[in-house]
Amino acid sequence: MAKLEKLIDLWRRNIVAWAESQFILPETGRPIKLEPHQKKILRLAFTPDEGGRLPYETVIYSAPKKSGKTTIAALITLWYALTQGRFNEIYMLANDEEQAKSRAFQDVARAVEANPLLAASAKVTQNRIEFSTGTFIAALASEYAGAAGSRHGLTVWDELWAYTSERSRRLWDEMTPIPTRKNSIRLVVTYAGFEGESELLWDLYKQGLAGERIDEDLPIYVNGRLFMYWDHRPRMPWQTPEYYAEQRKSLRTNAYLRLHENRWVSGESAFVDMDWWDTCVDPTWRPLVADQNLPVYLGIDASVKRDSAAVVACAWDSHLKKVRLVFHRVFQPSPQDPLDLEDTLEATVLELKNRFSIREARYDPYQFHRSATTLTKAGVNMVEFPQSTPNLTAASQNLYELIKGGNLIAYPDDGLRLAVQRAVALETPRGWKITKEKSSHKIDVVIALAQAALGAVESGPTNEPLPPAVRRLFHSASLFGAGGPGSDWSLEQDRKIIASFRRTL
């Protein structure tokens, strides 16, 4: 027992020695091997004085994405649980984005299960880890009322940029370190947030920068009992130039700066570079008049009095393997002359039904429910697409990637180009969407285009019209009775054979 107590005392004073002998990575089954900069940060932040008191009350560990922040949070949490006395309470807080349990809690649970000694003595459940010492680690949702009266030694805050609600701010206030525990501290692991939105993290960031920088090589700041490591430089071996080159291709500029350079950014930025849009425009293309064999996907953005309303049709071009803009039409209502949906949007959809093969028409039911009911009765496959954050993020991201990658083919149109130019990307902790910088800007046609393009991408490649030779083959099969009257040939069998032909082609 004395030997064990001596070992625990050694680990209490040397978090790095503990980590590199006891923190087992589930992926390898071996103890973690820390990078030099990680060792320095951990020693500076968690080496106690002669009396056993930790030097800081709040520790912030902030670095670019994929810098191992979540693993570091799990490591610190488990070290604290094993070295800071009996009957301790540790809470790992989920942010507004996660709502349940943090990723760091999952990493702690896996590390416990990967260590044979800990796995035999600790009890791991979905939201709680209990140790034989009476100490426990609990995952806590972002609900401040449930934290009242806790006697916590450590609280862990994962991605504090996403704590944006009043509820989460109250949770932060409720979980302040308590004086009745020798080492009651809080740990924040995060990357940068959005100016004007991530206010809790912003206040801490400014407080840290106002302190003293204590290391020449690493951006470490100390302000009283606040310790802040806030890095912009990638330092892990897997953060290669090739990795960042790929990330630059797929991410918007602001998203790249925030995630991979750990920079604070504004929530708004230009939706796309207009050079990208101009590359997608083919001056020889025109809106299609009609092709009843062409499957098209409609996006409908309805407005009655203020914003413009639009219908956009897109198709999947099987030869170019790109999304093609087939048709668009914009209507501009006013408070004095509101839009008659039946004479405008509904009539346009029915017109397109006669000219093309409409596979689906996506719409927000908020102002278009009655019209959608009418069009459904007329044989149009109407698909509800509420303008919720997940839907808008999916449609916006898809259109962004199509335009940036040159995988959208559009015909020249000054009005459409102006709408794209006026569109901005608005990022929030829950996702991002296309919006407008000024209320006078009309970008509804871009919203409709995003909906239609998403339909074409999700369904188009598997629903493109069959080549003429294959259609003739099926016609011949029907002449030989494969699908004639009285046969047991089913539509499902047709679909299976068509899918087989597509794979072959």
Task: Please write down the long-range contacts of 26-34, taking CB distance under 8 Å and 24 or more positions apart.
Answer: 26/110, 26/111, 26/113, 26/114, 29/114, 32/71, 32/75
- Confidence at residue 217, expressed as pLDDT on a 0 to 100 scale: 95
Q: How far apart are CA 205 and CA 184, in angstroms?
A: 21
SS3 at position 221: strand
Rounded-to-10 torsion of CA 394, 396, 400, 406: 80
Q: Indicate whether 351 and 386 sit together in one domain.
A: yes
Q: Supply 321's token pair.
A: 């393997």
Q: Indicate whether 387 and 283 sit together in one domain.
A: yes
Task: Print the domain residue range for 483.
Answer: 468-504
Q: Indicate whether 131 and 149 sit together in one domain.
A: yes
Structural contact between residues 249 and 77, judged by C-beta atoms closer than 8 angstroms: no
- Confidence at residue 505, expressed as pLDDT on a 0 to 100 scale: 41
Q: Indicate whether 406 and 289 sit together in one domain.
A: yes
Structural contact between residues 298 and 289, judged by C-beta atoms closer than 8 angstroms: no
Residue pointed to by tokens 């299960």: 113
Q: Supply 86's token pair.
A: 């009996």
Q: How far apart are CA 250 and CA 37, in angstroms?
A: 29
- The count of structural domains within the chain is 3
Tell me phi and psi for residue 42, to 5 degrees. -65, -40
Q: Indicate whether 475 and 344 sit together in one domain.
A: no
Please report whether residue 254 resides in a domain. no
- Confidence at residue 168, expressed as pLDDT on a 0 to 100 scale: 81
Please report whether residue 415 resides in a domain. yes
For 9, 18, 118, 132, 201, the CA distances from 2, given in Å and listed in that order, are 11, 18, 19, 18, 43
- Region of residue 134 (left: phi > 0; alpha: psi -120 to 50; beta: else): left
Q: How far apart are CA 431 and CA 141, in angstroms?
A: 20
Q: At what angle do helices 103-114 and 69-83 cross, to 10 degrees?
A: 60
Which residue numbers in the chain have pLDDT < 70?
Answer: 1-5, 96-101, 142-149, 267, 304-306, 335-336, 428-431, 437-441, 460-505
Q: CA-based angle 171:258:210, to the nearest 5?
A: 65
- Confidence at residue 303, expressed as pLDDT on a 0 to 100 scale: 76
Please report whether residue 362 resides in a domain. yes
Q: Indicate whether 392 and 307 sit together in one domain.
A: yes
Structural contact between residues 131 and 82, judged by C-beta atoms closer than 8 angstroms: yes
- Confidence at residue 266, expressed as pLDDT on a 0 to 100 scale: 76
| pLDDT tens, residue by residue, 45-79 | 999 999 999 999 999 999 999 999 999 999 999 99
Q: Supply 153's token pair.
A: 């030694």
For residue 29, what is the domain's CATH number?
3.40.50.300
Nearest CA to 398 among 446, 443, 453, 325?
453
Terminal-residue alpha carbon distance, the chain? 72
For residue 419, what is the domain's CATH number?
3.30.420.240
Q: How far apart are CA 245 and CA 237, in angstroms?
A: 15
Q: Indicate whether 189 and 139 sit together in one domain.
A: yes
Q: Supply 477's token pair.
A: 């099969």
Q: Indicate whether 111 and 185 sit together in one domain.
A: yes
- Confidence at residue 290, expressed as pLDDT on a 0 to 100 scale: 94
Quick one: DSSP state of residue 265?
B
pTM of the full predicted structure? 0.65
- Region of residue 191 (left: phi > 0; alpha: psi -120 to 50; beta: else): beta
Q: How far apart are CA 503 and CA 27, in angstroms?
A: 37
Q: Indicate whether 169 and 295 sit together in one domain.
A: no
Q: How far apart are CA 258 and CA 161, in angstroms?
A: 11
Q: How far apart are CA 12 and CA 48, in angstroms?
A: 8
Strand blocks (E) in 15-96? 24-25, 30-31, 58-62, 89-93
- Confidence at residue 97, expressed as pLDDT on a 0 to 100 scale: 58
Report the Cα 322 to chain-centroid distance in Å: 25
Q: Indicate whether 484 and 382 sit together in one domain.
A: no
